[in-house]
Amino acid sequence: MAKGKTGKKKTKKEPAKKKMGRPPIEIDNKMFESLCSIQCSKKEICQVMNVKKRTLERWCKKTYDQTFVAVFDEKRVAGVVSLRRSGFTLAKTNAAVWIFMAKNLLGMKDKPEEDQDAVEPTPVIVNINVQDCSKPKDKADEA
């Protein structure tokens, strides 16, 4: 090989290697988090983002270092808080909403629970033998 002005050997410049495979799909973090906050299912998120379930799983692992389920549980909290806040506001003016929230959030029930320690009564069995009393018994009938 010939030496250049610097005295170093000239080497042929190798072209940059082309990456093989499909280019990575870009998923918008804000869109993903907002879909989680309104309780969209994995299927719905994939349809909106135009990706497959497996791609979404890999993206969550790469972006958040967690599974989809773990990320979803973390991001859905914002939607739950928002829903609860609006529910409490609406419950101030609507009795049906107040009753619903009392039952679901406070554990109230329409009917009181039965005492599970109460002893059930033992059934009484009565045997009654009924005879035909319409005719008096004759000694002749008995023979």
60 is written with which tokens?
A: 């969550």
Question: How much of the chain is in helix, strand and coil states, percent to nearest 5?
Answer: 45, 0, 50
Per-residue pLDDT of 75-128, as tens digits, reads 999 888 888 888 888 888 988 888 888 888 778 887 776 666 667 778 888 887
**pTM exceeding the 0.85 threshold for the entire prediction:** no
Measured between alpha carbons, how far is 122 from 120 in angstroms, rounded to an integer? 6
In the chain, domain spans: 29-75, 80-111
Closest alpha carbon to 99 in 107, 80, 113, 79? 107
Closest alpha carbon to 38 in 3, 4, 83, 92? 83
Contacts (Cβ under 8 Å, ≥6 apart) of 53: 42, 43, 46
